[in-house]
Amino acid sequence: MRRLAKLFLVLFVVPTLIGGVVILLAGRPLAFELLQRGTSYKFPDVKWIVTSDLSRWREDSARTQPLLLDARTEAEYEVSHLHGARRMDPYRPSLVGLMRVPKDTPIVVYSSAGYRGARVASWLGQAGYHNVQNLGSSLFQWTNEGRPIFKADRPAEVVHPYDGRWGWGWLLEGKYRAQVPPVERLSAAP
């Protein structure tokens, strides 16, 4: 009996505890990585940009600045967004707002965690915009890193958390969560 208990401890309990510690320590970065991998698999045609590269790009006045498209709902956008971003409905994207935008314009799309941004980026690529990237880990990661967000043209402190699983869970730090109702679940298929 004692031998069986020892075997159970070595084969089950210890690996479970080690796995729990790894997940606890890796936490949010691991969650973002897994989400991006799954999203990349679903949208293999989408190019990605990381938050640090977008930040450097936006600080470099010598480079042509990207058009920023916020692929979240109006309620989310009204809480906060990246400075200068235009909102594009993630559920019914339209080219109407891009009619005067040349097809080679650099575009960076973002959403809360990256999935809706990837859908819109893929859709834009199919519409002929070939210089489109999706912001990896998107607005949640950008905000978690302490990068600036805005409400209209004024600095903001919080982000719409989307819903309980993503924004109230592992992906968005508590101090950045707006106290607002969750986003109504709609099909994100463009």
Per-domain residue ranges of the chain: 43-176
* Residue 47 β-bridge partners: 133
How much is the average pLDDT of 144-173? 86
- pLDDT of residue 25 exceeding 70, the answer is no
Q: Report the predicted TM-score, pTM, of the whole model to 2 decimal places.
A: 0.83
Task: Decide if 140 contacts 169 (C-beta within 8 A).
Answer: no
Q: Please say whether the dihedral angle defined by the alpha carbons of residues 56, 59, 63 and 69, taken in this order, is positive or negative.
A: positive
CB 102 within 8 A of CB 128: no
What's the length of the chain?
Answer: 190
At 86, the pLDDT band (50, 70, 90 cuts) reads: very high
Percent of the chain's residues with pLDDT above 70: 81
- The contacts of residue 183 (CB under 8 Å, 6+ apart) are 72, 73, 75, 76, 160, 162, 163
| Contacts with 48 (C-beta within 8 Å, 6 or more apart), sequence order | 36, 40, 133, 134, 135, 136
* Residue matched to tokens 């969560």: 177
pLDDT for 113 beyond 80: yes
Which is higher by pLDDT, 21 or 183? 183
CATH class given for the domain over 43-176: alpha beta
The pLDDT value given to residue 190 = 47
